[in-house]
Amino acid sequence: MNIISIGVNHKTAPIEIRERISLSEVQNKEFITGLIESGIAHEAMVISTCNRTELYVVPAMHEVTGEYLKEYLIAFKDAQKEVRPEHFFSRFYCGTARHIFEVASAIDSLILGEGQILGQVKNAYRIAAETQAAGILLTRLCHTAFSVAKKVKTKTKIMEGAVSVSYAAVELAQKIFSNLSMKKVLLVGAGETGELAAKHIFQKNARNIVITNRTLAKAEALSEELGTNKVLPYESYKDHLHEFDIIITAVSSKEYILTESEMHQSMLKRKLKPVIILDLGLPRNVDPDISKLQNMFLKDIDALKHIIDKNLEKRSRELPKVNAIIEEELVAFGQWINTLKVRPTIVDLQSKFIEIKEKELERYRYKVSEEELQRMEHLTDRILKKILHHPIKMLKAPIDTADTMPSRVDLVRNVFDLEEPNQSH
């Protein structure tokens, strides 16, 4: 009743290896279906993201080990030339449970506490469930992992604080202005960074967002996606600088797109009302001398990275709390696994006593009335229930060590002379 996990991730292999071994959803379904139908696994699931491809398997044969599964996955991807077993990690039983709990709670992520991984784990379980590759063990394992992630999110601060430049910029703007819904925002540049910043500030209730971009169509597309439908031609946006409380720049340019003299004129037009400029460009888009102007707050990537570093440091300090939650859930999961191990013995024990009861009652079937036979059966059921209560309770009780369970099961089987159980999943 082992659960094996193997895989490559950002800790074990470079990006070119992770790309080579990753599985699309179609490949994922084909792969785990093959494992089940070929009799290699009772259950199987694959988590495949840009940072990890990890296989979770309940093996159906003793020959199926971590090394076996590594070679199997490499062969499936026809990647023998590039990918080696050394690129993989291996975990077994409790190690597998701990690993998926850490993955789901985002403490195994490239960016500590990032918010996407739980959805990716849930998607992996969905695929396994849809292909009927997730049985009782993987289902329990995954649902416990989801529960761990929920507790980590609600009981710790591991996901608090911005850890991306664009999100840090928006959080900073919110700290300075508090209510962004009343502020007018200019986004200069509708590339990937600008788009993320626009979406983050929209989520913070900013609705008066105007976008300008060298390619007007791109600005219009982003504006339409946000539902703001406000754009300015790139050639003339500087004529309107004085109208904006927040200016976010994210363009590729070797020269400053906003100079000190331009912003000086703009500040005079707006009667020195405060302005935040968030320069997300690299090289910088904005003349740093602008920060010397009165009521002008300029932050570039270095300043934002300082905020990100501090946030990551705060998240790291939450790790002991996260690990305590994981330890607690590991114990509970281990106890549940143990109940599976004793279930055959409990069934055998109950069956044996029921067989004895039925044989004894049969001797009286034609010697007493039907009513008396029913009363005798009712009485024997109550006696059996009381006799079996303690041994069943003892079998289900928590254990101190992994060695305790087999000896406890052997004791009950010997005392009650039960036959050896069949070894199966």
Residue 157: helix, strand or coil by DSSP? coil
- The reply to whether 50 belongs to the active site is yes
State the Cα–Cα distance between residues 385 and 349, nearest whole angstrom: 11
CB atoms within 10 A of CB 400: 7
C-alpha neighbours within 13 Å on the C-beta side of residue 30: 8
Q: Where are the alpha helices (DSSP H) in 191-244?
A: 192-203, 216-226
Length of the chain: 425
CB atoms within 10 A of CB 396: 13
State the Cα–Cα distance between residues 323 and 327, nearest whole angstrom: 6
Of the residues 11, 30, 38, 50, which is catalytic?
Answer: 50
Q: With CA atoms as reference, report the closest residue to 107 among 413, 382, 316.
A: 316
Radius of gyration of the chain (CA): 32
C-alpha neighbours within 13 Å on the C-beta side of residue 304: 26
169 with 204: CB under 8 angstroms? no
Q: In the chain, count H helices and then E strands.
A: 14, 10
State the Cα–Cα distance between residues 221 and 78, nearest whole angstrom: 40
Q: Which residues are tagged catalytic?
A: 50
